[in-house]
Structures are given as structure tokens and as C-alpha cells.
Copies of this chain bind each other. A is one copy, B any other.
Amino acid sequence: MQDRYFSVDPGQKAAARQLYASVKDLPLICPHGHVDPRLFADPDYQFGSPVDLLIIPDHYIFRMLYSQGISLEEIGIHAMPPSKSPPIKRGDLPESTKGDHRKIWRTVCANWHLFRATPTGIWVRDELAEVFDITLKLNSENADAIYDAIVAQLKSHAFRPRALYERFNIEVLATTDAATDSLAHHQAIRDSGWGGRIIPTFRPDAVVNIDDAGWRAHIDQLSAAAGIDIHNYATYIQALEQRRAFFKSMGATATDHAALTAYTESLTAAEADALFQRALAGKANTKDVARFTGHMLIEMARMSSQDGLVMQMHIGSWRNHNPTIHARYGRDMGADIPIRSEFTKNLKALLDRFGNDPDLRLVLFNLDETAYSRELAPLAGHYPILRLGPPWWFYDSWLGMTRFLDAVVETAGIYNLAGFNDDTRAYPSIPTRHDVWRRVCADWLAGQLARGFIDEQDALEMIRALAYDLAKETYKLDEQL
């Protein structure tokens, strides 16, 4: 299946094969993701069971199983102790990986038909084949054999994260880290003298989302981390700037910001301070939340213009939509649902101030593909600060990526795109995800070539840009080498 996923027309397929061949061995640029830096801090880190490796970190898998009536307990996810309040990340809970992993694995395999024609189905199959050399199909009959084969390989030194980093041909891998994180694991990686490039990304959501139950505690942590007593808006901003400088000193080239909408609004310093004081007093209302988030996006743009960190915005996910699941199991349980997104009006306040700023770069991601051609491509095709991130989350799929290229390239070209990022916490799936993107691009460009929109020189330069150059340049990853 060397030509897998390519269009069936022989001419287009041959062109796709050639284009793909020209980039398949390029190093992987991973400017945005969620791999745990602990994997690299400890040179002898060993992965747990196949379930720890492939199932637990993948909310794509358990949301689908849950949608078909399989309880989360059956796949190893247990309710949090009742005392834990407010809900925290599942990853923090040792309970989460308890249970009989072989039994869980069998349950997943017995229901693997649910993933037919889904990206998860492709990723897991390709990953088993490429990383573990396992070409059996997941099902009840093969479940045990595959489980055993993975277990056997995970023991080998070749499956230590650092060894895989080399094997995967990763050039740089960015993690995502809370603004309050000590980056101790990143420091350990640096201290170890290992040659891999693992860099942090500054993600301040927890200290910006004033409606989050844990916000006040996060502010205290921010005070501690920054060594600044945060008691008003001015000290809050100072602390954020201090942390950004620290992240930058640790290799960060980017920040990341999630928001329900792209709404931006410029507050005066006095308004911002009054609002911040209400939040400290636990008295911020719904409108305050929207205004503060909108204002802080502009503030973060200002800081990015000054310190040069590339700004990322991820818009449009209604987190923890299912309150029963949230209360019982915590966050990130596959119950985040997209909403309609708007950019032309919402981003205007930010763009009015910084849209033409030569020192700012802003990468936009969203979950409403109707905005691709209507708003995002026209905006990116005009404002010099903007780049469009690759299709996100539910759209990180063959058809989703194809629709993205169809919708944005005619208006924005490819040079206003940010290339690819894998955005995963499932480390061994990284090569597969990049491979699917490279195949999509090869197939899409082969179609353009076969129909005469572009010529061969164009196609070869474009696929290299999409597969490698654009990500590296967008995230300023070449500037630091």
C-alpha cells in the first residue's frame, strides 16, 4: 500500500507518488503538540502497556466507544474520587490507568469496526505497521497476539522516546505548557546534553480564564512562579511578561491561546484593572469574562509583537459539553463540541491595532470549516500578520484536510498557511500524522498538476513548503538554530 490514499486515476496517482517521494524523508517539524516532556527528560523512560500507549491518551478513541454505549470504565477510565473538586485533568489521576489492560485492549479490538473510515482507524493501522511492524487487523481474534507483540517491543531500547525521536526523524518538537510550569523537564532535557530539540510553548489559558473554578489558585501559582505579588492588573501583566521571557529563554518560539470565540476588545488600563479586581473578588459576571478574554488576546498580541513569540489562537471548542461526564471523570473526556465561529467582526479590534505590525505573527485555528473560505482565507490573504493553521481536531483527517486546501488556497495561496502540526499527545502517532498530511498535499497538488493549474516545478516547491518549510518559517524555528 505504498500509494495508499492517493486518487485512483493512474496519471494523478503517479504524480502524487512522485511528489510524495520528494518529501517523505524530510525531517518532521512539530511546532504544536501535547507530548509530555517527561518522556525525554528521563533517558530510560519506558512506555507502559499498549493501552497506556494507544488508548488512554486518545480521546478520539474513547469518545467513539462511549457514543456506542461502551462505558468509560470498560476502557480503563474511572470516576474521580468525589473529594476532587473542581474537576481536574484525568492525566493527574493514577486511577486512570488501573484495571486489566489486556481486557481493555480486547474490548477496544472487539469494537474496532466503529473506526472504519475514520482518521483514528488510519492512524492506528499505519502506526502499528510503521512503528511496530504489525500488519494484522485489529479485531477480537487478533487482539491478544497484537497486544503481546507490542508489549514485547516496548521493552526494547529502540522504543525509548529518545530513540524514537531519532527514528522518527524529528527536527524539533514543541510541547504545550502552562504559564506557571517550572519547565523542569525541559531543563532536565537541556542539562542531559541530549541532542534532541524539545521546546516549550507558553499557554496561559488557566491564568486568563477568570470564570474557571481554579483560576484564583492558578493566579497564586503564577505569583509564585514569576516571583511577583499579583494584586492588580499591572502586576498580573508583569508576571505574564516575566513568564514569557522565561519560556523564551528555555527555547519557546510560540504561545498558544484557546478561546470559545475570537472576540477581541481593547479595554483601557483602568477598565482592565477594575475587571481584574472583580475577578480576584470572585465577582466577575459572564460579560466580564468575554471582555477580559477579548482584551487579553490583544494584550498577548502586544507582548508577541514585543518579544517575538508567535501567537496561536484555537477558537470554537465548547469544552466539557456533557456535565455528567465532566463531574464524574473530569476534563478532556471526548465531550468537547465545536460551535459556529466568526472572525471578521470578532478579530477586528485586534487587527485594528496590530494587523499591519511587521513584528507580529498570528496563527489561527478553528473548528468551523465554513469560516475557511468565507473569512479566514480572505483575512490571511490581506493581513500580513496572519497565517492559517492546519485543519484542527475533527478536521485533521483526509477529507477534512482536502476540504481545507480546496477552501483556502485559491484565496490565500499556500504561503499564508502555517504548514502542518500534529497536535497530539500520542507520541508514536506523530510520524503517521505527518505522513497523512504529506500524502494529502501530494494528492491535492497532483490534481492541480494533472489538470494544468500548476506545473511540475510549482508542485515540487509547493509540497516542500507544505511539508516542511512553512511550519519551520511560520514558527521561527530556523532563527534559533
Contacts and interface: CB of A to CB of B under 8 A. Distances in A.
Contacts of A397: 410-411
Given A8-B12, A410-B397, A452-B4, A369 B373 contact: yes
Interface string A1-13: 1011111110110
Taking residues whose C-beta sits less than 8 angstroms from the other chain, chain A's interface range is 35 or more
Given A373-B394, A382-B63, A394-B373, A414 B116 contact: yes
A113 B415 contact: yes
A367 interface: yes
B66 A384 contact: yes
A67 B380 contact: yes
Contact of A382 (B67, B340, B348, B377): B67
A394 B398 CA distance: 24
A358 interface: yes
A241 B119 CA distance: 43
B355 A373 contact: no
Interface in A366-408: 367-370, 373-375, 377-384, 386, 394-395, 397-400, 403, 406-407
Interface of A: 1, 3-9, 11-12, 63-64, 66-69, 113-119, 121-122, 137, 318, 321-325, 334-340, 342, 344-345, 348, 351-352, 355-356, 358, 367-370, 373-375, 377-384, 386, 394-395, 397-400, 403, 406-407, 409-416, 447-448, 450-455, 458, 461-462
24 contacts: A3-B452, A4-B451, A8-B11, A8-B447, A8-B451, A9-B9, A67-B380, A67-B412, A68-B384, A68-B416, A115-B413, A118-B411, A118-B413, A318-B345, A337-B378, A340-B342, A340-B374, A367-B374, A370-B370, A370-B374, A394-B411, A397-B410, A398-B453, A403-B406
Given A321-B344, A398-B453, 16 more contacts: A1-B452, A7-B451, A9-B9, A68-B384, A69-B358, A116-B458, A116-B462, A117-B409, A117-B458, A322-B356, A324-B352, A339-B345, A340-B342, A373-B395, A394-B411, A399-B410
